[in-house]
Amino acid sequence: MYYPWWYVPGLTAPMLIAIIAVVHIFVSHYAVGGGILIALENQFAVKTNDKLYRDYWHHHAQFFVLLTVAFGAITGVGIWWTIALASPLATEMLIRTFVFGWAIEWVFFIVEIVAAFLMYYFWTRLPEKTHIVIAWIYALAAWISLVLITGITAFMLDSRGLFANWDETGNFWHAFFNVQFLPQTIIRTGASILLASLYVFLHAAWTFRNVNVANNSVNSELFNKIVQRMSRPLIFGIVTVLLGVVWWFVLLSPNVLLIMERSVLLNILLTLFFGLCGLITLLIILGPILNPRSINLGFAVCLFIFGLTALGSAEFIREAVRKPWIVDQVVLGNQIYANEVAERQTTGFLRPSHWQQRPTEKIQLGGMVFMYHCNNCHATNHGLSAVGPLLYGESKEKITETIKNLNRPTLSMPPWSGTDEELDALAEFLLTIRPEK
C-alpha cells in the first residue's frame, strides 16, 4: 500500500473525524452568520443613532472573535490532521483536484482573520462608516470561504457535474460546480444565519440574565430589542435551510436514496431534524415574535441545544449517505480508487511498501488486510461498528461468502478488492475475533 493505516481503538477514525468536524461546523457556521449579523446590526445601530445597541454588538464581537477565530481555527486544523491520517488517498485526490479552490479559500481566510481583528479592536477608534465597511468585508470573506469549502464537500457526496461529468473532464470548475453545490450552499448559508441568531440569543440572555424584563429599565428594553431583531434572521435561516434540504433531496442519486430508505437510523435522524425545525419555528413565534419579554436564559439555552441537534443530525445524514465512498465514484472507503477494484482482485489488495513488509503468516496477513480494507469504518471486537459481534455463530464459509459480496446486501460497503489468498487470510483473522458460542 502507498499509505499506512491509522487505527483508532474503539472509536474508529471516521467517527473521530465526525466529532471534530461537527464541532468545527458549529463554530464555523457561526463565524459566517455572525459576521453577517454584526455587519447588519452595526449598520442599523449607526443609522438609528442607537449607541447602546451598538455597544452591545461591540461586547458580542469579543465573544464572537474569541470563539470563531481562536477555537474555530484549532478545530479547522484538527479536521486536516484527522482526514490526512484516516483518508490520505482521498485527501491527496482532493488537494490535487481543488488546489486552486483551496488557494483562493486561504486568501479569503486571511482577509477574514485580519478584518475580524480590525473590526473588534478598532470598533471605537475608526469612523463609523469605515468600521461598517470593515465589518462587511469580514462578512463577505467569511461567506466566500463557506462557498468554496461547500463546493469541495458537495463534490465528495456527488461527483456529477452541473455542466459535464468530472471523470470526463478532470476540470476544477466541473468538479466544483457539482450537482449538490447550489443546494448545499443554500443550506449552509441558512444554517449560518440560524446558528448565529441562536448564539446571539444565548449570549444576550447570559449578559442580561439578572435583568428584570418586566420593568422598563434601559437594559430590559435593550434585551427586548435584541430578541425582536434576532427573530427575523431565525425565521429566515430555518426557511432557507428547509428549502435547501428539499432541493438536496431532489438531486440525490437513486443509490443514495435507497441507502437512506434502508437505514432505520437515518430515518430517525431525518424525522428528528424536521421535528426540531418545526419546534424551533413554533418557539420563535410564541417567544421572540409574540412575547419577547418572556425570553430568559433557560429558553435561550433550550433553543440553542435544539438548533445544534438539528444541524448535527443533518450533518450526520449527509456524511452517512456518502458511503461506500470517501469521494463519490472516485475513492472508495477501503482507500483505493474505484477503477482499481478489478485489478486488485487479480494482483492483490496489499501493495509492497518501503515501511512495512507483507506478512507470511496467514492470520497476520488477514489482520493487515482488515486494517486496510475494513479499519476505516469498523472496529474489531469492541467499539463502533465492531465486526466481531456480527460474526457470532458464523462459519468460515459463511464469512468468506459475505466478504465476497460486501457491497450487495448493504450498499454502503465497498466491493471486495483482493485476491482469493487475501480473502482466505481475512476470513481466518475474523475467526480469531469471532465471539465463542
| Contact (CB, 8 A) for 104 and 60 | no
Is residue 394 very low, low, confident or very high in pLDDT (cuts 50, 70, 90)? confident
Helices 51-65 and 218-251 pack at an angle, to 10 degrees, of 50
* Angstrom distance (rounded) from CA 94 to CA 102: 10
CA distances in angstroms from 61 to 37, 40, 219, 222, 356, listed in the order given: 11, 13, 18, 17, 51
DSSP string covering 213-227, please? TTS--HHHHHHHHHH
Number of H helices, E strands in the chain: 16, 2
Q: What is the pLDDT of residue 213?
A: 44
Give 87-141 as a 3 state SS string: CHHHHHHHHHHHHHHHHHHHHHHHHHHHHHHHHHHCCCCCCHHHHHHHHHHHHHH
Provide long-range contacts, Cβ within 8 A and 24+ apart, for 217-226: 218/52, 220/293, 222/52, 222/53, 222/56, 223/295, 224/292, 224/293, 225/53, 226/53, 226/56, 226/200
> What mean pLDDT is predicted for residues 71-92?
88
Is residue 355 very low, low, confident or very high in pLDDT (cuts 50, 70, 90)? low
Tell the residue number behind the cell numbers 480590525, with chain if given. 118
Is residue 214 very low, low, confident or very high in pLDDT (cuts 50, 70, 90)? very low
pLDDT above 60 (res 211): no
Residues in CB range of 378: below 8 A, 6 or more apart: 12, 385, 386, 387
pLDDT tens digits, residue range 158-176? 988 876 555 554 578 888 9
> What mean pLDDT is predicted for residues 295-321?
90
